[in-house]
């Protein structure tokens, strides 16, 4: 998860918040009883919204070290907790809820588009709290709590990359806020500190690793955690490092080393070795990954979930969102989602004017108990075009049904058809030879040209819009000429469009030079952040969903096997969740190939792979089901000649560093 974040400073200017979204008659899945309006004694809610009644300049700033219950050196490790909370409720004996961001990045790398880090005064109390949460929400009667995960910044312990130590170091703080754990005024020794100023109602928020920890803590079922807002976050760490056995990048030990504090570097060699030993590069699922799989514990989640995901995030891929969302739905968790066209980007940087008031209403409802109706509004906001958003009452979209599409041959090797036609006769095949120097953009640009490194299956020209809402699968029966083979499957919208340039450095946004302000400032902590705009590009095709797999893991993730050359193997590749409309006049393509350069690592051989079309099928969640797929009679399908629009000029594949930093 490579940090592409950047840092601000300007006096506070009041910001006018955009009008909140109109309530519609849709209901979130499994709604609970409406919460009563916050009591007047809370002193922060008027006209259905928390109000900036309290002074940010006079806020209480303090540091507490909370016992995690984990023993690293003969005493329990303590994690550093920096708190900014309004002084007026404390003086009046009123208790406040908490917005909490637990992160490994507060000193090593920074948070947000401007790479803000924590800064401190001479007494060790926080001066700059990264991001806008403290500036905006503390005046509205919330405390903000920023936790250094174990082994980072000012905390004891060791980083274990999403494992029990990471999760427990944040969960312990929720317990302390609810009187179930011990806190101290110093990292060692010190006086006992309690959190008598809070009512124990906690909401966790964060992007990337931060949001991942929110998922992990919620999956413990800890009491007092009322809601989480995970942004581009991992739901199972195996799926960050592998996709069905195919390696996405090097091992997690690089990431732990990257974020550890100096003291952790000196003391955590044994933990680092456990990470290496537990995560072999075979692609096999081990107990290490089981301990970092939050999806399996979705049934323990008590908190509501407001998930945010960039549909073109090639860092934390949308598989994480999709499988987490599906598991939460199965257990009736209240939830909401925003799906953007960006890559690994915070909504504050692509839809700021709507994000801040929506987040405020979400926290007001779940932490202050305000019956503002947000739980009855549309479940999903989706960026359909650049800065053009639509809503759905539930997600996936109503009327969406899995639909089987068959892969058929044409007279041109490497080019096939895609549709509802009958399965081809036994013996129909298409073949490709793995070329690890090519990636999905190379394949998609040549979707109508026979090339040796891929095979492309396309529909005819669509007679009406076709919406794919959710995650699909591709089942292939494949034969390799060598003992190892990696497979890629990508969905492509063939036709011109203007999209966010998610492959550029800002992953769909441009950072400007002006600033807008959200909340109040002090000399050491500005509420004013650099403005952003959409980074657009005109294309003639759009890759919108992907999946990868190691053919040697065809039978089980637990243990991959060498392939027998010439023997057929059947494998189902999971395609990442998406919500994309292929417009009328465009075509839908499925490309099956080998190494997706920059997104998966190549196998240790260079196989030629043959796909048995009679035993292969694409299943897609089509809104409207099979009836939604209609093509224009006589319109060209595979092999059609297109006049391309201005496509990104030979966009290079993303560079896989030893592990992209999550931020």
* DSSP secondary structure of 100-113: EEEES-TTTT-BTT
Reply yes or no on whether 612 is catalytic: no
Reply yes or no on whether 553 is catalytic: no
Distance in angstroms between the alpha carbons of the first and the last residue of the chain: 6
Backbone conformation region of residue 218, classed left if phi is above 0, alpha if psi is from -120 to 50, else beta: alpha
Residue 571 near residue 487 (C-beta atoms within 8 A): yes
Q: Catalytic residue among 210, 313, 349, 596, which? A: 313
Residue 109 near residue 662 (C-beta atoms within 8 A): no
Query: How many other C-beta atoms lie within 10 A of the C-beta of residue 611?
Result: 23
Nearest CA to 593 out of 452, 411, 405 is that of 452
Nearest CA to 551 out of 535, 567, 539, 527 is that of 567
Reply yes or no on whether 344 is catalytic: yes
Q: Catalytic residue among 243, 320, 344, 580, which? A: 344
Question: Cβ-count burial of 421 within 10 angstroms (0-12 exposed, 13-18 middle, 19+ buried)?
Answer: exposed
Residue 215 near residue 230 (C-beta atoms within 8 A): yes
CA–CA distance, 172 with 68 (Å, rounded to integer): 5
Give, as one character, the DSSP assignment of residue 98: E
CA–CA distance, 180 with 167 (Å, rounded to integer): 16
The first and second tokens of residue 44, run together, are 């922060």
Paired with 102 in beta bridges are 147
Dihedral pair phi/psi, residue 9, rounded to 5°: -170, 115
Residue 161 near residue 237 (C-beta atoms within 8 A): yes
CA–CA distance, 557 with 552 (Å, rounded to integer): 9
CA–CA distance, 311 with 578 (Å, rounded to integer): 6
Q: At CB < 8 A and 24+ separation, what contacts does 504-507 make? A: 504/535, 504/537, 505/4, 506/4, 506/345, 506/532, 506/535, 507/4, 507/310, 507/312, 507/313, 507/342, 507/343, 507/344, 507/345
Rg (CA), the chain: 25
Residue 35 near residue 365 (C-beta atoms within 8 A): yes
Paired with 65 in beta bridges are 80, 184
For 550-606, where are the alpha helices, taking DSSP H only?
A: none
Dihedral pair phi/psi, residue 539, rounded to 5°: -130, 165
> Any residues with CB less than 8 A from the CB of 11 and at least 6 apart, and which?
521, 526, 528
Distance of CA 511 to the CA centre of its chain: 21
Question: Cβ-count burial of 269 within 10 angstroms (0-12 exposed, 13-18 middle, 19+ buried)?
Answer: exposed
Residue 116 near residue 130 (C-beta atoms within 8 A): yes
Residue 322 near residue 576 (C-beta atoms within 8 A): yes
Nearest CA to 608 out of 483, 414, 433 is that of 433
CA–CA distance, 457 with 638 (Å, rounded to integer): 7
Dihedral pair phi/psi, residue 224, rounded to 5°: 105, -20
Q: Catalytic residue among 3, 169, 208, 236, which? A: 208
Question: Cβ-count burial of 26 within 10 angstroms (0-12 exposed, 13-18 middle, 19+ buried)?
Answer: middle
Dihedral pair phi/psi, residue 364, rounded to 5°: -55, -40
The first and second tokens of residue 326, run together, are 């599906």
Give me the active site residues, please.
Answer: 208, 313, 344
């Amino acid at each position: 998860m490579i940090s592409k974040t950047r840092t601000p400073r300007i006096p506070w200017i009041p910001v006018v918040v955009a009008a909140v979204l109109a309530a519609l008659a849709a209901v979130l899945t499994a709604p609970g009883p409406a919460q009563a309006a916050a009591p007047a004694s809370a002193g922060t809610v008027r006209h259905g919204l928390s109000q900036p009644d309290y002074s940010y300049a006079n806020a209480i700033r303090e540091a507490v070290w909370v016992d995690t219950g984990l023993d690293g050196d003969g005493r329990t490790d303590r994690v550093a907790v920096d708190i900014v909370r309004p002084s007026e409720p404390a003086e009046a004996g009123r208790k406040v809820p908490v917005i909490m961001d637990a992160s490994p990045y507060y000193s090593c790398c920074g948070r947000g588009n401007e790479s803000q880090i924590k800064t401190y005064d001479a007494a060790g109390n926080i001066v700059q709290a990264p991001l806008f949460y403290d500036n905006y929400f503390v005046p509205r009667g919330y405390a903000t709590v920023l936790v250094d995960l174990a082994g980072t910044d000012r905390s004891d312990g060791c980083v274990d990359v999403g494992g029990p130590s990471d999760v427990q170091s944040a969960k312990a703080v929720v317990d302390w806020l609810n009187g179930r754990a011990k806190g101290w005024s110093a990292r060692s020794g010190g006086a006992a500190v309690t959190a008598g100023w809070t009512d124990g109602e906690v909401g966790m928020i964060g992007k990337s690793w931060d949001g991942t920890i929110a998922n992990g803590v919620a999956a413990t079922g800890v009491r007092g955690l009322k809601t989480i807002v995970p942004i581009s976050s991992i739901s199972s760490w195996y799926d960050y490092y592998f996709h069905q056995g195919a390696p996405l990048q090097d091992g997690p030990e690089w990431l732990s080393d990257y974020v550890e504090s100096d003291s952790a570097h000196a003391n955590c060699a044994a933990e680092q070795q456990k990470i290496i030993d537990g995560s072999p590069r075979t692609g096999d699922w081990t107990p290490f990954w089981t301990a970092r799989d939050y999806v399996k514990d979705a049934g323990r989640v008590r908190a509501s979930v407001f998930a945010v995901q960039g549909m073109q995030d090639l860092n934390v891929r949308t598989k994480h969102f999709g499988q987490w969302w599906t598991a939460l739905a199965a257990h009736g968790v209240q939830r909401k989602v925003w799906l953007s066209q960006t890559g690994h980007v915070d909504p504050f940087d692509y839809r700021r004017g709507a994000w801040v008031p929506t987040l405020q209403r979400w926290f007001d409802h779940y932490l202050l108990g305000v019956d503002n109706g947000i739980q009855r509004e549309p479940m999903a906001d989706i960026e359909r075009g650049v800065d053009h958003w639509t809503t759905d009452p539930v997600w996936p979209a109503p009327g969406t049904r899995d639909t089987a599409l068959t892969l058929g041959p044409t007279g041109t090797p490497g080019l096939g058809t895609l549709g509802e036609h009958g399965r081809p006769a036994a013996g129909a095949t298409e073949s490709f030879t793995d070329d690890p120097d090519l990636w999905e953009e190379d394949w998609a640009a040549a979707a109508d040209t026979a090339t040796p490194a891929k095979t492309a299956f396309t529909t005819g020209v669509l007679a009406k819009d076709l919406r794919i809402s959710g995650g699909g699968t591709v089942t292939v029966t494949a034969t390799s000429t060598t003992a190892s083979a990696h497979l890629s499957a990508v969905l492509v919208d063939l036709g011109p469009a203007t999209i966010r340039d998610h492959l550029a450095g800002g992953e769909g946004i441009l950072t400007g030079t002006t600033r807008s302000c959200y909340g109040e400032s002090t000399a050491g902590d500005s509420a004013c952040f650099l403005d952003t705009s959409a980074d657009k590009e005109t294309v003639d095709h759009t890759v919108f969903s992907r999946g990868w797999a190691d053919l040697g893991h065809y039978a089980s993730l637990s243990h991959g096997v060498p392939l027998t050359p010439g023997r057929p193997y059947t494998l189902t590749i999971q395609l990442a969740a998406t919500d994309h409309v292929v417009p009328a006049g465009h075509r839908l393509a499925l490309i099956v190939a080998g190494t997706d350069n920059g997104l998966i690592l190549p196998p240790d051989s260079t196989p030629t792979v043959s796909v048995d079309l009679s035993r292969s099928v694409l299943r897609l969640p089509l809104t409207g089901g099979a009836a939604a797929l209609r093509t224009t009679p006589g319109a060209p399908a595979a092999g059609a000649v297109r006049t391309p629009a201005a496509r990104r000029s030979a966009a290079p594949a993303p560079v896989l560093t030893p592990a992209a930093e999550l931020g």
